[in-house]
């Protein structure tokens, strides 16, 4: 009985299977010897973990000696080498060469497993992008703008001018308020030590602290007054200019008047007919 060539470990099948399923092969002693050498190289590569290299040697052995065992060994090597497609192909070749093998059910399980592996590795089909249809350019739609509103721009400019002017007057009022507070703080600071007919005033540590506090407060109020007065004046000038440039001949013209009041100034608005 010819010697079996099944790999051990995960490749193992019963040796009786080999004898029962082996297909007679017509090979010369020289080719059989070469097949044995290729098989030994394949077994060595399998042991080293080079599964694809082992599969190549088993295929070479089958080409020299058409023994179905080599086909099965090649399929096993491809399976462990993660080449699912080649493994399924060589399992099928093995069943074709040894259709009555008692282990056919197990080999068919391998084929199902490898086919599922191949299918899982296939790329997911992507729906093709539908071609775009070139449409003839259409004439742009022209809408009738209608008659332009008369005096709209001037009226808006004048309203903006009024708003800016009012903001300027408010800024001036704030500046005046800060200036009055700064004057009051200065008077309070100077009153910390009033002249004493009987002698110099007594300057306590609390008086020194109050002087420092009032000095800082007065400087801050003076600075705020200057900023508010400067910004308010500039805004008032801009507002007046915008109001003047937005005037018309045929529309009612609101008149801006600055009326002084006790705490500063206020803006009044009237119309000229």
Distance CA(91)–CA(74), nearest Å, equals 8
> pLDDT grade, residue 3 (50/70/90)?
very low
Its pTM stands at: 0.42
Query: Distances in Å between the alpha carbon of 250 and those of 32, 102, 246?
Result: 119, 112, 12
* 46 pLDDT more than 80: yes
More confident residue, 136 or 96: 96
* 163 pLDDT more than 80: yes
Q: Average pLDDT of the chain?
A: 78
**pLDDT, mean of residues 238-243:** 86
pLDDT at 144: 58
> pLDDT grade, residue 65 (50/70/90)?
very high
- 81 backbone φψ class: left, alpha, beta (φ>0; ψ -120 to 50): alpha
Helix (H) / strand (E) element for 103: namely none
**Residue 204 C-alpha from the chain's centroid:** 66
Each residue's pLDDT tens digit, 173-182: 998 998 998 8
pLDDT at 23: 46
Each residue's pLDDT tens digit, 174-213: 989 989 988 898 888 777 666 556 656 666 777 778 878 8
**Highest mean predicted confidence (pLDDT) among 48-52, 119-123, 129-133, 207-211:** 48-52
Write phi, then psi, for 222 (nearest 5 degrees): -65, -45
pLDDT at 13: 42
Dmax (CA) for the chain in angstroms is: 146
């Amino acid at each position: 009985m010819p010697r079996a060539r099944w790999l051990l470990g995960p490749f193992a099948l019963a040796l009786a299977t080999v004898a029962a399923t082996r297909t007679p092969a017509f090979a010369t002693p020289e080719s059989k010897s070469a097949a044995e050498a290729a098989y030994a190289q394949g077994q060595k590569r399998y042991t080293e973990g080079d599964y694809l290299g082992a599969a190549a040697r088993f295929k070479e052995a089958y080409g020299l000696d058409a023994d179905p065992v080599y086909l099965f060994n090649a399929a096993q090597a491809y399976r462990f080498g993660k080449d699912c497609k080649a493994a399924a192909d060589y399992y099928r070749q093995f069943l074709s060469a040894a259709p009555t093998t008692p282990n056919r059910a197990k080999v068919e399980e391998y084929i199902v497993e490898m086919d599922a592996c191949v299918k899982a590795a296939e790329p997911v089909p992507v729906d093709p992008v539908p071609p775009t249809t070139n449409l003839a350019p259409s004439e742009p739609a022209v809408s009738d703008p209608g008659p332009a509103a008369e005096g709209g721009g001037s009226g808006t400019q004048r309203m903006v001018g009024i708003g800016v002017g009012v903001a300027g007057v408010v800024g001036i009022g704030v500046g005046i308020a800060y200036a009055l507070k700064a004057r009051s703080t200065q008077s309070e600071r100077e009153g910390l030590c009033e002249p004493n007919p009987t002698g110099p005033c007594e300057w306590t540590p609390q008086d020194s602290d109050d002087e420092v506090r009032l000095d800082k407060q007065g400087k801050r109020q003076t600075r705020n007054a200057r900023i508010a007065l400067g910004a308010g004046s500039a805004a008032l000038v801009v507002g007046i200019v915008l109001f003047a440039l937005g005037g018309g001949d045929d529309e009612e013209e609101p008149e801006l008047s600055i009326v002084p009041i006790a705490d500063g100034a206020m803006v009044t608005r009237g119309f000229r007919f």
